[in-house]
Amino acid sequence: MEQRTEFDPLRLLDALHAGAEHDCAFTATSAEAARAWQEHAAPVLARSLGFLDRPAPPVEAELEQTVDRGSYVRERVVLRTWPDATMPVWVLVPKGLDGPAPCVLALHGHGYGVRDIVGLWEDGSERWQPDGYHKDFGCALAERGFVVVAPEISCFGERRADYSGLAGEFTGRAPDTCHNATAYAIMLGGSAMGLRVWDGMRAIDYLATRPEADIARLGAMGISGGGAHAYFSTACDARIRACVISGYFCDWRHSILTFHHCTCNYVPGLMAHGELSDFAGLIAPRPCLIEAGRRDTDFPIAAVRAAGRRGAHSAPATRSPSTNSTAATRSAGEWPTTSSPATSDRPRRPRRDAHADSGLS
């Protein structure tokens, strides 16, 4: 039976969305207007994410393990992130540094957690050949001379939420390990992404104490859920000076609202204020490399390119006279969008190939 268009709640939501004011729509055409927009949009984003207005505790770092990985050393450190919570991070330090080196906050996406980007199999055994869709990009960065901090973010690996209360209720596709914590966070007025942005900020707090890291040359990098994390973290934390967003940068109406995705992607109320390409104005004029898979149906390449073009509008408007040549080159005109020949390593989620230079060296 044919369904009437007006029966469809998505049509209604589109109409409600179209009719909303969108107070964070980025329309600035001058640097002054862009800065005023940023002053308005930054607290809106932080409030929507939630949990970011609390005092940060001292990190109380505890080194638990050191492993020689040839050209770099990998450390496991546990940080205090809340009065009642701690978080493991992996720190990769290249050997032979002759001074503080550029550094990267490396953010994993869905899967078995941070081990998948620092050269470890899920069972904790060493891995020397990149595997999975992350391709051990934390290791690749360390091999290129970056000091890397990679946190185990909320809901993954050793920080999975307790699912015992939902045992047996799901059939078919297993529930993402994010769901319980995300639902709880939403009921408290925040989001899983808010918890994760906080995780990243605390990892940066720790990195800033490491003499090997030049915190003034800090980047953020992630793919898929890690790309989302890199996007929000860079928008929220001015200490991040450049970012690589892989497999995520696409307006939400054309990506996470068009297919079934983990609940951790959704930030309550945010689209009432603006779209992803609007809030990209909080990243500008810092360099941002957007990477997308040409055959990624979750984040369609045409919509990614459209969001990149919209996001690019913010860069010239916010560029300051002091912006260095690298930033100006990468920010001016259009955010670079690269496409990788896509080969699928899981259904519907083509692999994104090697990450490009982050502009920090």
Number of residues that bind Zn ion (CB under 5 A): 4
Give the nearest distance from C-beta 267 to Zn ion in angstroms: 13
Of 178 and 185, which has the nearer Cβ to Zn ion? Answer: 178
Of 141 and 193, which has the nearer Cβ to Zn ion? Answer: 193
Of 219 and 226, which has the nearer Cβ to Zn ion? Answer: 226
First to last CA, the chain: 60
Give the nearest distance from C-beta 262 to Zn ion in angstroms: 3
Give the nearest distance from C-beta 212 to Zn ion in angstroms: 32
Sequence-separated (6 or more) residues with CB below 8 Å from residue 255: 248, 298, 299, 300, 303
**Backbone φ and ψ of 141, nearest 5°:** -65, -45
Give the Cα separation of 278 and 95 in Å (integer): 41
Of 235 and 262, which has the nearer Cβ to Zn ion? Answer: 262
By CB atoms closer than 10 A (0-12, 13-18, 19+), residue 260 is: exposed
Binders of Zn ion among residues 230 to 289 (CB under 5 A) are: 262, 264
Binders of Zn ion among residues 69 to 128 (CB under 5 A) are: none
Of 157 and 359, which has the nearer Cβ to Zn ion? Answer: 157
Does position 178 interact with Zn ion (CB under 5 A)? The reply is yes
Give the nearest distance from C-beta 291 to Zn ion in angstroms: 20
**Backbone φ and ψ of 216, nearest 5°:** -75, -10
Give the Cα separation of 39 and 9 in Å (integer): 34
Give the Cα separation of 200 and 343 in Å (integer): 30
Give the nearest distance from C-beta 179 to Zn ion in angstroms: 7
Q: Phi/psi zone of residue 37: left (φ > 0), alpha (ψ -120 to 50 degrees), beta?
A: alpha
Of 44 and 264, which has the nearer Cβ to Zn ion? Answer: 264
Residues 153, 199: contact at Cβ < 8 Å?
Answer: yes
Of 111 and 285, which has the nearer Cβ to Zn ion? Answer: 111
Stretch that binds Zn ion, among 158-166, 177-185, 206-214, 251-259 (CB under 5 A): 177-185
Give the nearest distance from C-beta 76 to Zn ion in angstroms: 23
For Zn ion, the binding residue among 116, 176, 291, 298 (CB under 5 A) is 176
Q: How big is the chain, counted in residues?
A: 361
Task: Copy the structure tokens of residue 163.
Answer: 């699912």
Give the nearest distance from C-beta 353 to Zn ion in angstroms: 23
- Interface ranges with Zn ion (CB under 5 A): 176, 178, 262, 264
